[in-house]
Amino acid sequence: MPENEVSTPATPPTADGIVIRSTGSWYDVRTPAGVVPAKMRGKFRLRQGATTNPVAVGDNVSLRLNADETGLITEIHPRRNKLSRRAAGRRVGKEHVIVSNIDAALVMQSVELPKPNPGFVDRFLVMATYHDLEAGIILNKTDLQNENNRGNVAYFKDIYQDLGYSIFLVSAKSGEGMDALREFLNGKVSVIAGPSGAGKSTLLNALEPDLDLPTGEVSLKTKKGRHTTTNAALFPINATSYVADTPGIREYGLFGITAEDLGHYYPEFEPYLNQCKFPNCMHDHEPACAVKDAVEQDEIHPTRFHNYLSILDSLYLGEKDVGR
């Protein structure tokens, strides 16, 4: 018998990493030694149960490394948390995990072009608070501040800081305010979501020039392919920090939130929730509602309350859109 047939095969090399992108059946896994394209073991697909994707962007995984520099995902480590939506189409009603193991969630708006949308911000913050994420607001394009839009800046500074959210006033273009944001993002996986044109690509390029993302006209960017998929991706900012790109955030449901609970995700409602006449008060049409009284007394901002009612309506309707 030739010698090489009796020797035991070497144990294949392994690595741990984080899934930064998923493209159909391949996953990009960032390991200390670089990004490895990997497939998953078939048994994960059999085990997937109520979710449509057994491996999600953000998952910490173990890999077996193949000789051809690809990998096989052999283990998915337990998720700390996840953002999900209900799947559509063929898999309607199933849970689709958009991104997992998130530390922070920031909603991005701009002072101008496009101007801020407080309803979008509040829906996003409700979602983040429900998931127990450190939540905040990035207000970009501070270099465009002027007499006419000063109120846009003041609105966010005056209301949300007091509610415990972090506020970052930045100019991705001039670099103003970026150090504080960089410090906040450090060592975290952060979701940043905002309308097209708010300047997210410019901001990401400022954080990590190697990303070299296309910026500018939406139509041009689509041609270059950035928003052609609806899959999330993690952009590495440095060795330990990631920003999640989550295209289509407008379609995400407030998955798992009930109308009865919505008020609990409004920090400023908290002192009043036990003072409503009806213990199951939803602060809508009920009489003797302490939350509505607080709005009338200017203790709660009317825009915040208005947005609360609009989210409440959408939960009643079972509507899945987030960003109206």
Element (H or E) spanning 225, and its range? none
- In the complex, the smallest distance separating the C-beta of residue 224 from ligand GDP, rounded to whole angstroms, is 11
228 binds ligand GDP (CB under 6 A): no
When CB distances are held under 5 to 8 angstroms depending on the partner's kind, the choice from ligand GDP, Zn ion, none that residue 283 binds is Zn ion
Core vs surface per residue 32-51: b (16+ CB within 10 A) or e = eeeebebebbeebeeeeeeb
- At closest approach, how far in Å is the CB of 216 from ligand GDP? 5
Listing DSSP states for 5-45 in one string gives HHSPPPPPPEEEEEEEEEETTEEEEEETTEEEEEEE-HHHH
> Judged by CB, which is closer to ligand GDP: 197, or 323?
197
Q: Which residue is nearest to ligand GDP (CB)?
A: 199
Q: For tokens 């900012």, name the residue.
A: 237
- State in angstroms the smallest separation of the CB of 43 from ligand GDP: 38
The span from the CA of 307 to the CA of 304, in Å, is 5
Query: Which residues are registered as beta bridge partners of 293?
Result: none
Nearer to Zn ion, 249 or 291 (CB): 291
Dump the DSSP string for 266-307: -GGGGGGGGGSSSTT--SSS-SS-HHHHHHHTTSS-HHHHHH
Q: Does 48 bind ligand GDP (CB under 6 A)?
A: no
Name the residue with tokens 């690809």: 70
CB of 58 to ligand GDP, least distance (A): 21
DSSP state for residue 68 in the 8-state scheme: T
Range in contact with ligand GDP (rule: CB under 6 A) among 15-23, 72-80, 196-204, 259-267: 196-204
Please name every residue paired with 83 in a beta bridge, in sequence order, or none if there are none. 99
Tokens of 4: 């090489």
- Binding of residue 54 to ligand GDP (CB under 6 A): no
* List 31, 84, 129, 140, residue binding ligand GDP (CB under 6 A): 140
Q: Which is nearer to ligand GDP, 201 or 241 (CB)?
A: 201
Shortest gap between Cβ of 229 and ligand GDP (angstroms)? 15
63 binds ligand GDP (CB under 6 A): no
CA distance 166 to 181: 10
Q: Binding residue for ligand GDP (CB under 6 A) from 53, 199, 232, 255?
A: 199
Q: For the window 147-176, what string marks contact with ligand GDP as x by the rule CB under 6 A? A: ------------------------xxx---
Please select the residue that binds ligand GDP; options are 131, 141, 283, 301, rule is CB under 6 A: 141
Q: How far is the CB of 92 from ligand GDP (least distance, A)?
A: 30
* Positions 260 through 319 that interact with Zn ion (CB under 5 A): 276, 281, 283, 289, 291
| Closest separation in Å from C-beta 174 to Zn ion | 45
The answer to whether 139 touches 133, Cβ cutoff 8 Å, is no
Q: How far apart are CA 145 and CA 202, in angstroms?
A: 18
Q: Which residues 226-255 are close enough to bind Zn ion by CB under 5 A? A: none
Please choose, from the candidates 177, 173, 98, the residue with its C-alpha nearest in 3D space to the C-alpha of residue 136: 177
Asked whether position 293 contacts ligand GDP by CB under 6 A, the answer is: no
Distance CA 86, CA 76 (A): 22
Q: Which is nearest to 27 in space by CA: 68, 60, 49, 67?
A: 60
216 part of the interface to ligand GDP, by CB under 6 A: yes
Q: Which residues bind Zn ion (CB under 5 A)?
A: 276, 281, 283, 289, 291
Q: Which residues bind ligand GDP (CB under 6 A)?
A: 140-141, 143-144, 171-173, 196-202, 215-216
